[in-house]
Amino acid sequence: MKYEFSQSLQVLAEDIAGRIFPHVRMNRVRCFRSYGSSTKHTIARCHALGKLLQEAMDVEPFYALEFLGEKFNKMDEEEKIKVMIHELMHIPESFGGGFKNHNVVNDRNVERCYRTYKECIQNEKKVDWFKLQRKKNKS
């Protein structure tokens, strides 16, 4: 496997997180393209420095978003944004090194976030998707 930091993906992640996932501390997240994976179905992965390693190393939580170049690079812009949203959604509000699983990070919620993100771009505004979700769940 070959990994390379991707400035363009980092900028996209920062824009998306800044608009709809303000809990994501982008100074503790890095985006990489990888090449050489033999996986058949994976397009991207979210990696975290787990609690035990955080304690052992005396460091704060850190996340790495990996985008498998052979598949991700061939996608259109809309799909790339949705994949990025999907990976960012895995990062919990606590930003503690854990993950949100696929009962929350699913196609329906990714699509809702994507629509919200596109509205934000059109209107140049920021929306906290998690707060929006809590409001809808209370209704």
- Domains, the chain: 2-138 (3.30.2010)
Mean pLDDT of 76-97: 94
**Segment 85-112 mean pLDDT:** 94
Which ranges of 1-139 does DSSP label H, i.e. alpha helix? Answer: 7-20, 51-57, 69-72, 77-89, 107-123, 129-138
pLDDT value at residue 15: 95
Packed helices 129-138 and 107-123: angle between N→C axes, nearest 10 degrees: 120
Residue 136 pLDDT level (bands cut at 50, 70, 90): low
Indicate the average pLDDT of the chain.
90
Picking from 34, 24, 39, 4, the residue whose alpha carbon sits closest to that of residue 94 is 24
pLDDT of residue 57: 94
Is the pLDDT higher at 2 or at 138?
Answer: 2
Mean pLDDT along residues 10-21: 95
- Residue 133 scores a pLDDT above 90: no
